[in-house]
């Protein structure tokens, strides 16, 4: 896999002059495979609004990847993908069951409610950022009268907001409850590739074969400049979806520039190798700090995020050494996210800096 080197000054070096980015997987640039296909798409002109050869080929590549005749749409970002999908699955009086830490609940500025004209999100708690089947059942059966917004969808984030994954058994258990109550299953796949890499299962196994009806598959966090693919496994649910995209300002007139980089990820296999690399870097970090005193790994680092409990003094020491990270995501703690171009040297210098910071704290 091609790697661009991130600057990773050694921790003995007192003057760290540039920020070191592990705040999210969207701090990384465009991976070479995506860029290469973007250039190729720029060699000749083509039709607009998705009637071009790149969009057709990328859509077919998704059908190959998922081993089924799915409906594929390309939008600019994850908020739009999630919001428009939920809007298309719900009437305004319906509700969506999701984890209380779900991005659709905490980070989309009410987008799902806005685009669905008021469908309500009903949140449930659950260990490791996962929606438990019992939580779905309790939420659905709590009320059956017309005064309660009728549950229609279960939304799952894969990998979860805290860097864990739903395995096949957990997904099947959720599908079973969903079938009992006639619920659709939506998957927010902001880190879907990382989940496939983590579990070493095929995209088909992890979606429609496990009962997922619609997937929002993020390209941005996997190595594109921007772009998410919305994949409907049940084609009937995709009816009129293109109108929603257009109305919401999500129909790219030069759609080939969204689609071609996706084709680059899919044809070269970079979608998976990028995720495997990111996961390996997260594991390296988690393994490197678990034995340090005063450092607590908050969740099993199954994908590309690592959540650490660190003292305020340690956090300040890391900030002083120009490490960038967020502390407001999930259940708090310090989140580091690895991506396609996170280098082992960068991770090792972070481990060194954490070791030094906790030693003096
Ligand atoms: C990043 C992310 C999204 C998409 O966010 P946008 O900024 O709208 O592209 C969706 N869900 C999760 C869990 C995310 O981490």
**Paired tokens of 194:** 């990382």
CB-based contact 194:303 (threshold 8 Å): yes
Q: What is the pLDDT of residue 2?
A: 43
**In terms of domains, do 306 and 234 share one?**
no
Q: Which of 25, 74, 75, 78 to mutate to test the pocket of ligand 1 (most atoms within 8 A of CB)?
A: 78
Q: How far apart are CA 36 and CA 161, in angstroms?
A: 31
Give the Å distance between the CA of 142 and the centre of ligand 1. Answer: 30
Name 344's Cβ contacts closer than 8 Å, sequence gap at least 6.
281, 284
CB-based contact 119:95 (threshold 8 Å): yes
Whole-structure pTM value: 0.95
Confirm whether 11 is domain-assigned.
no
Which of the listed residues 268, 295, 322 is the one where a domain comes to its end? 268
CATH number at residue 142: 3.40.640.10
**In terms of domains, do 211 and 157 share one?**
yes
Q: What is the pLDDT of residue 5?
A: 45
**In terms of domains, do 168 and 264 share one?**
yes
Confirm whether 12 is domain-assigned.
no
**In terms of domains, do 278 and 252 share one?**
no
- Say if residue 229's pLDDT is above 50: yes
Confidence of residue 196 (pLDDT cuts 50, 70, 90): very high
Ligand 1 — pocket residues by CB below 6 A? 77-79, 103, 157, 161, 188, 190, 220-221
CATH number at residue 341: 3.90.1150.10
Helix and strand counts by DSSP (H, E) for the chain: 13, 12
CB-based contact 32:263 (threshold 8 Å): no
Give the Å distance between the CA of 272 and the centre of ligand 1. Answer: 19
Q: Which of 218, 221, 305 to mutate to test the pocket of ligand 1 (most atoms within 8 A of CB)?
A: 218
CB-based contact 187:215 (threshold 8 Å): yes
- Say if residue 103's pLDDT is above 80: yes
**In terms of domains, do 251 and 133 share one?**
yes
Give the count of domains, the chain: 2
Which of the listed residues 218, 234, 268 is the one where a domain comes to its end? 268
Q: Whose CA is nearest to atom 1 of ligand 1?
A: 190
CB-based contact 187:231 (threshold 8 Å): no
- Average per-residue pLDDT in the chain? 95
CB-based contact 149:116 (threshold 8 Å): no
The string of pLDDT tens digits covering residues 9-28 is 444 555 677 999 999 999 99
- Say if residue 307's pLDDT is above 60: yes
Give the Å distance between the CA of 330 and the centre of ligand 1. Answer: 13
Q: How far apart are CA 69 and CA 55, in angstroms?
A: 15
**In terms of domains, do 69 and 192 share one?**
yes
**In terms of domains, do 138 and 165 share one?**
yes
Which of the listed residues 268, 300, 329 is the one where a domain comes to its end? 268
Name 270's Cβ contacts closer than 8 Å, sequence gap at least 6.
1, 31, 33, 34, 223, 264, 340
Give mean pLDDT, residues 122-150.
Answer: 96
CB-based contact 20:341 (threshold 8 Å): no
**In terms of domains, do 86 and 65 share one?**
yes
- Say if residue 118's pLDDT is above 90: yes
Host domain of residue 99: 32-268
Confirm whether 141 is domain-assigned.
yes
- Say if residue 47's pLDDT is above 90: yes
Confirm whether 107 is domain-assigned.
yes
Q: Which of 77, 98, 101, 107 to mutate to test the pocket of ligand 1 (most atoms within 8 A of CB)?
A: 107
Confirm whether 333 is domain-assigned.
yes
- Say if residue 98's pLDDT is above 80: yes
Confirm whether 126 is domain-assigned.
yes
**In terms of domains, do 279 and 193 share one?**
no
Confirm whether 45 is domain-assigned.
yes
**In terms of domains, do 65 and 153 share one?**
yes
Q: How far apart are CA 121 and CA 107, in angstroms?
A: 13
CB-based contact 189:215 (threshold 8 Å): yes
Bond from prior residue into 36 cis (ω within 30 degrees of 0): no
**Paired tokens of 318:** 């890391």
275 to each of 31, 33, 219, 298, how far by Cα in Å?
Answer: 12, 14, 11, 21
Give the Å distance between the CA of 253 and the centre of ligand 1. Answer: 23
- Say if residue 181's pLDDT is above 70: yes
**In terms of domains, do 186 and 169 share one?**
yes
**Paired tokens of 297:** 């790994």
**In terms of domains, do 317 and 300 share one?**
yes
CB-based contact 320:360 (threshold 8 Å): no
Confirm whether 183 is domain-assigned.
yes
| 102 CA: nearest ligand 1 atom | 13
- Say if residue 127's pLDDT is above 50: yes
């Amino acid at each position: 896999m091609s790697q661009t080197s991130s600057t990773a000054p050694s921790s003995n070096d007192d003057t760290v002059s540039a920020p070191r980015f592990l705040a999210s997987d969207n701090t990384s640039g465009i991976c070479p495979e995506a860029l290469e296909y973007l250039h190729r798409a720029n060699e000749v002109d083509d039709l607009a609004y998705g009637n071009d050869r790149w969009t057709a080929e990328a859509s077919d590549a998704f059908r190959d990847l998922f081993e089924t005749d799915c409906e594929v749409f390309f939008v600019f970002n994850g908020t739009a993908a999630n919001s428009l999908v939920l809007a298309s699955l719900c009437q305004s009086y319906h509700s969506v069951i999701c984890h209380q830490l779900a991005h659709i609940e905490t980070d989309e500025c009410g987008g799902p409610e806005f685009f669905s004209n008021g469908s309500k999100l009903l949140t449930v708690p659950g260990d490791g950022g996962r929606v438990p089947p019992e939580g779905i059942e309790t939420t659905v059966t709590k009320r059956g009268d017309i005064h309660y917004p009728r549950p229609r969808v279960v939304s799952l984030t894969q990998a979860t907001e805290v860097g864990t994954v739903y395995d096949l058994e957990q997904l099947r258990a959720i599908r079973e409850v969903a079938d009992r109550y006639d619920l659709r299953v939506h998957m927010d796949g902001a880190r879907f590739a990382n989940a496939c890499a983590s579990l070493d299962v095929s995209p088909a196994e992890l979606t429609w074969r496990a009962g997922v009806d619609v997937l929002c598959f993020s390209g941005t966090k996997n190595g594109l400049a921007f772009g998410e693919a919305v994949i409907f496994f049940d084609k009937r649910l995709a009816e009129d979806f293109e109108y929603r995209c257009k109305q919401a300002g999500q129909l790219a007139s030069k759609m080939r520039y969204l689609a071609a980089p996706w084709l680059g990820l899919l044809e070269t296999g970079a979608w998976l190798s990028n995720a495997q690399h990111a996961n390996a870097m997260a594991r390296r970090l988690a393994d490197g700090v678990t034995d340090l005193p005063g450092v607590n790994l908050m969740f099993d680092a199954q994908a590309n995020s690592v959540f650490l409990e660190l003292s305020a003094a340690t956090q300040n020491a890391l900030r002083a050494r120009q490490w960038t990270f967020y502390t407001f995501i999930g259940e708090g703690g310090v989140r580091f996210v690895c991506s396609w171009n996170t280098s082992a040297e960068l991770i090792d210098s972070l481990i060194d800096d954490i070791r030094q910071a906790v030693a003096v704290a």
